[in-house]
Chain A
């Protein structure tokens, strides 16, 4: 009742616009039910996963605690550090700023799908070769962003690399090694080499 009174008042202040694009102004639709748990199906690293989750479970907790894929790290839990970055339908997102239920029907890629200890992905090799990591906590996030970034910009400038990585924090390296690693990874991916790129990426 209260709500209607307030609406009437605001309607007087801002006259109701005529219905747009022929949509009826009042369409009655049933409100979907509220839930606290939900069953979801997601593709994770190419494998279909189905689970019932609490709606408040963040995607990163689902990935780590339910799927036991602990390569994705939980850092700040408010979207600042970038450690939890994964690819959602190929685009980098913070998995701490999504709920698992929101990923239903989507495709997720985590660092586990990148390379294996025996056969590292060229991006991982470049990070290793250029000292792009020390403790490694932030690294999975950097790697996932780098993967998506280099798909879009196969020959980035150093400035573009720095901008692309701005959403990640690393407290060990001072970033210089990471920027060099990404630059070199671009060369390796372009030329298909798995060794250190020859295109003098060091400044």
Chain B
């Protein structure tokens, strides 16, 4: 099928975009990478009367290091972030997750901000943001505001973003001193995850001093389970602790089943993935500690 007729504008600056949102926000739709919106338009599941195409707003395409955070402009392509040395070095969890987002051809066009603003309950990037306690910067008619991931994701495909607001950037706390891992199970590589999990741990020697887990595909928004995180915190990451963690995750998580996988299967997989992700994250954190020490001893770099 073909999209229903719409009116179109391609602003070249944030200011022009704001003016368009003021004039047409309620009947309009922002077009970022288009890898989720254009299918909806082609199938006529969405029929906005105005499309505001952000692809010429080059001011929203950047990756900046700012005070321990990496700010990624909303229109930065997923593929650009995937290949960024800054992302690889300072945001290893994001670097882990990006290759799992759709296929190569999708990531060429798809944007970091678009994925966050679309808030698909099975998408990887919202879970990454939630696991890192990251935030977004949003511009509205009254100015800019910053929202934590926990405030931003409201429900299925629903965020705190108003009709007259524009997502400017996504801010991921740098975590190169921690260990992290993103794992998922999908029917084929690049499909939406049946279950995915991002894990970030802080290690002091062999003891985990902080653990964060955010799941995707198992609820309307990225799911954090504080009780499960508490199981690992303050302990050595042993097989016994991991078994307890997996059991608790399976018990507490509350996914819905669909044609791809039953709720029971998702619960089971979530427990297994949580275990594996925390183990991998803890190992990476330890390697990092050892690596840092080695470099310190060598003292030649």
Q: How large is the interface on B (under 10, 10 to 19, 20 to 34, 35 or more residues)?
A: 35 or more
Chain A residue with the shortest CB-CB distance to B16 = A29
Q: Is the CB of B6 within 8 A of A56?
A: yes
- Of A4, A79, A166, the contact of B35 (CB 8 Å cutoff): A79
Check: A69 CB closer than 8 A to any chain B CB. Answer: no
Q: How large is the interface on A (under 10, 10 to 19, 20 to 34, 35 or more residues)?
A: 35 or more
Check: B284 CB closer than 8 A to any chain A CB. Answer: no
- Of A55, A98, A166, A167, the contact of B8 (CB 8 Å cutoff): A55
Chain B residue with the shortest CB-CB distance to A4 = B141
Tell me which of B48-56, B90-98, B211-219, B226-234 binds A: B48-56
Check: A68 CB closer than 8 A to any chain B CB. Answer: no
**Cα–Cα distance between A58 and B9 once the two chains are bound (Å):** 16
Check: A171 CB closer than 8 A to any chain B CB. Answer: no
> Within B39-83, which residues are at the interface with A (CB < 8 Å)?
39, 41-43, 50-51, 53, 55, 79
**Cα–Cα distance between A61 and B2 once the two chains are bound (Å):** 10
Nearest CB of chain A from residue B214's CB, rounded to whole Å:
22
Q: Is the CB of B145 within 8 A of A15?
A: yes
Q: Is the CB of B102 within 8 A of A30?
A: no
Nearest CB of chain A from residue B18's CB, rounded to whole Å:
7
- Of A6, A92, A145, A166, the contact of B190 (CB 8 Å cutoff): A166
List chain B residues, Cβ under 8 A from A36.
Answer: 5-8
Chain A residue with the shortest CB-CB distance to B26 = A3
Q: A34-B7, A56-B3, A102-B55 are in contact. List 13 more A-B contacts (CB 8 A).
A: A11-B142, A14-B145, A14-B146, A17-B145, A25-B143, A26-B143, A29-B19, A31-B19, A31-B22, A32-B11, A56-B6, A77-B1, A79-B35
Q: Could you pull out 24 A-B pairs where Cβ atoms are within 8 angstroms?
A: A3-B22, A3-B141, A3-B164, A7-B162, A14-B145, A16-B145, A20-B137, A27-B15, A29-B19, A31-B23, A38-B8, A56-B3, A61-B2, A77-B42, A78-B43, A79-B38, A96-B42, A97-B39, A98-B34, A101-B53, A149-B104, A164-B104, A166-B189, A167-B102
